[in-house]
Amino acid sequence: MMSDDSKDTFRNVKQKPGLQMWTINNMQMVPVPAQAFGNFFEGDCYIILYISQNKGSAQTADIHYWIGNTSSQDEQGAAAIYVTQLDEYLGGSPVQHREVQGYESPRFKGYFKNGLIYKKGGVASGFKHVDTNAYNVLRLLHVRGRKHVTATEVEVSWNSFNKGDIFLLDVGKAIVQWNGPQSNRREKLKAVLLAQDIRDRERGGRAQIGVVEGGDEADSPELMKIMMSVLGQRTGQIKEAIPDDKPDEVQNSSVRLYHVFENSGNLVVQEVATQPLTQDLLRSSDCYIADQKGSCVMVWKGKSATKEERREALNRALGFIKAKNYPTSTKVEVMAEGGESAMFKHLFKSWREKGQTQGLGTTYSVGKIAKVDQVKFDVMELHARPELAAKQRMVDDASGDVKVWRIENLELADVDPSTYGQFYGGDCYLVLYTYQRSNQPQYVLYMWQGCHATKDEITASAYQAVNIDNKYNGTPVQVRVVMGKEPRHFLAIFKGKLIIFEGGTGKPGVVNPEKGARLFQVRGTNELNTKATEVMARATSLNTNDVFLLKTNQICYLWYGKGCSGDERVMGRAMSDVLSKQDKQVVMEGQEPAEFWVALGGKAPYASDKRLQREEPPHSPRLFECSNQTGRFRMTEVDDFAQCDLDEEDVMLLDTWEEIFLWVGNLANQYETKEAWNSAQEYLRTHPAGRDPDTPTIFVKQGYEPPTFTGWFNAWDPHKWSELSNTNLNKSPGGGYGAPGGPVSSPPPVYRVHGDLSPKPSTPSSPSTQRPQPSVSPSYIFSPSVTAGGSRLSSAGGQYLDPQLLINKSPSELPQGVDPSQREEYLSDVDFENLLGTSRLDFQRLPKWRQNDLKKKAGLF
């Protein structure tokens, strides 16, 4: 039972959605006012309660306790005790998290969108609430991070500065932002938002904000006077950029499950299983630890475990970390049965909630053909409710237009519409689907790759997909489909006539070798979810739950398993008419004629369990940022994500379990885009739950998101990107700088970051310096800076040339210094794509003969 003192402690805890914070003061929980949220004294410990209300579900709660680097052991112990008591007070359902300064989880950082501020000292040094009218402030904040910003108080001195980061000099009535010459655009914007947040919450909106570009300090003389008056005259050089010393955040595929219990006063940790884990390993009467090789330790408390075991769960996690010699910064999560976090569920091969109904979120099992139950829906409802479209994986009702091409001699060849839906394992196909939304055409481009297609054909299909994408101005959503792993919408657009042939080709004039008897497994209950897949013509391929078509030289048998439904039989009959014009003979399971077994090579045991194939239930979606802005490619998870977390300069990976989405921002660089495909494969390959590496991967461009993507986000705003383009960084008319979002009484000034957004050869490690950024003013973009001779400055220090100086010119007619065999190298990226119909990166991946062919067509050979 909880003591009366504990109940008094938590009497003021609000059990409604939102964020609440407390600090530990003299071993007591003291509330932190809302205007101080995000400020953390390094000598203190904090407790954070976040209650969320998800659409269509009950409230969920997360309790975090944050440990400052210089906090005392007593305070840390008190915080841990209060967390356990608060969890008990809230019914034992919250997920508990241990957070260490500098190693906070993405979920924790996500609560403080504008960043975390680490302040020197703590309660003992005179902690006091933020006074929004106090201006006697003098501090220097070292700001780091792009997605999740942290600002640490450092010595107010030029010695604290470096060229790679951003610093905020806060003098009360003014906040001066100094941008290191090697900092990037996103970091600058995040720092501005933090400065605004400090102004609005701590100064009541009455402080001025100015920005100094470290590489062009002379452009801001008034602001430099302020900095010099505080910091003194700078005598030496600013220090070089400090590399990010944290290891790459890569997925840990290793996971072990331990049973944790006490025996005669000793803690016993017994290994139960390694990945992939299954839910049935967890017994309600016990507690378990899931260990991701020290990157995260998660404790699961069974609902029937003793009260003592549940209460000791957090301490046992800490004891486990100590016993394993893991770093003290190791992340810890503690959760009760029924309140598991999304990250915990993702460690398991499948996860079913109590009382969960089947039908939505069905996924494809590895090596099997999934049985999909499709609910009926209205196309208008899909567009009005994108969350339904996302769960059903359907952008519309499949009533749009379909165009199919096959790769022949590495070029596109039209497929006869009478054979639409017939796919051969030795071929690659492109399928363009067109539908209407708000009276505007929308496109989905499927790239279907046969298991027996050549590497050249697979490469050519990717290249031709780029050409089609360019033809439609980059608007199609691109979906990579591996044979046998066709997504639901792909099935639907062929209206119950989708047949997958194991091998062979559909190319005209090519005679496929005669295979004798052929066996096809038919799955589906209506036109939207049915396909026939060729399997080995052996009795062992049969399954009592399905319909099979056995095609011989003389007859086509329709074999109905005892477990199949009437709807499945109807679809089997319809499919048999597509597959064969021969006579049909219905064969009921158990009544097969001898000729049937002879065609299959003899009778043999097969799957005869009448239980329906177990469907894998839905998992919570997860969002990751894919970026090489730090000079290394890395994936960072974004917890509790929203549309605002989609970064225009990056590629984002959205994992909905049944599908992987790659969302490409308008300002993402080509390296990130290329690496994203690889990272999606690596993510699936190393996933601790043993994911199918052929899970459909969908390529989505910013501004052209289908409802199957937007439905995973709450309150998606289709106009957000056009609004963002109007909030670029601009310089104010008076030569000084301000930040958007000032006091309501006056219109906010706008400002522009100067100079450093243009590429500079001195900082090759920064991706933002590798190519022009579209959002920067024209004076900083290469291509419009045309010189009198018709040339343009190139990123390599050479020149971009007007295409007319290069096209259809003999070597003697070319400008001096131009290599006749490399004319394309003198084109800007835009001209390159317009003339050659592909990006520079994709061009380089083509075989030499194909490159020359494109150059000839463009007049560059």
Q: Which domains, ranges and CATH numbers included, belong to the chain?
A: 4-125 (3.40.20.10), 139-231 (3.40.20.10), 256-347 (3.40.20.10), 803-858 (1.10.950.10)
CB 358 within 8 A of CB 615: yes
pLDDT at 634: 65
Q: Which ranges in 759-838 belong to alpha helices (H)? A: 829-836
Query: Per-residue pLDDT for 547 more than 90?
Result: yes
Q: Distance (Å, rounded) from C-alpha 814 to C-alpha 62? A: 67
DSSP classification of residue 434: E
Q: Checking phi first, is residue 158 left (phi over 0); if not, alpha (psi -120 to 50) or beta?
A: alpha
Band of residue 57 on the pLDDT scale cut at 50, 70, 90 = low
**Residue 383 host element (H or E):** helix 379-384
**Which stretches of 264-420 are assigned E, i.e. beta strand?**
266-274, 287-291, 296-301, 331-336, 401-408, 411-414
Per 3-state DSSP, the chain is made up of helix, strand and coil in percentages (nearest 5) of: 25, 25, 50
Q: Distance (Å, rounded) from C-alpha 352 to C-alpha 350? A: 7
Out of 369-383, 712-726, 734-748, give the one with best mean pLDDT: 712-726
Q: Which of 327-336, 384-393, 488-497, 596-605 has the lowest mean pLDDT?
A: 384-393
SS3 660: strand
CB 742 within 8 A of CB 748: yes
Summarised one tens digit per residue, pLDDT across range 738-777 is: 333 333 222 233 232 222 322 233 333 333 333 333 332 2
CB 99 within 8 A of CB 65: yes
Question: What residue type is 628 in one-letter code?
Answer: N
Q: Distance (Å, rounded) from C-alpha 554 to C-alpha 633? A: 58
User: With pLDDT > 70 as the criterion, what percentage of the chain qualifies?
Assistant: 78
Summarised one tens digit per residue, pLDDT across range 465-512 is: 989 988 998 888 888 888 888 888 899 899 989 999 988 888 887 766
User: How far is the first Cα of the chain from the last one, in angstroms, to the nearest whole number?
Assistant: 84
Joined tokens for residue 113: 């969108």
Averaged over 679-704, what is the pLDDT? Answer: 83
Summarised one tens digit per residue, pLDDT across range 110-168 is: 888 888 888 887 765 444 444 545 667 888 999 987 777 888 888 899 999 999 899 99
Averaged over 67-81, what is the pLDDT? Answer: 87
The b/e string for 339-358 (b: 16+ C-beta within 10 A; e otherwise) is bbbbbbbbbbbbbeeeeeee
Question: Within a 10 A sphere around the Cβ of 621, how many other Cβ atoms?
Answer: 17
User: With pLDDT > 90 as the criterion, what percentage of the chain qualifies?
Assistant: 16
**Residue 559 host element (H or E):** strand 556-560
pTM, two decimal places: 0.53
**Which stretches of 17-111 are assigned E, i.e. beta strand?**
18-25, 28-31, 39-41, 45-53, 59-67, 95-100
Directed axis angle between helix 829-836 and helix 848-858, to 10°? 90
Q: Distance (Å, rounded) from C-alpha 551 to C-alpha 584? A: 9
The set of residues, in sequence order, having a beta carbon less than 8 Å from that of 739 and lying 6+ positions away, is 192, 195, 196, 199, 209, 211, 748, 749, 751
pLDDT at 362: 31
Diameter of the chain measured on Cα atoms:
100
Rg (CA), the chain: 31
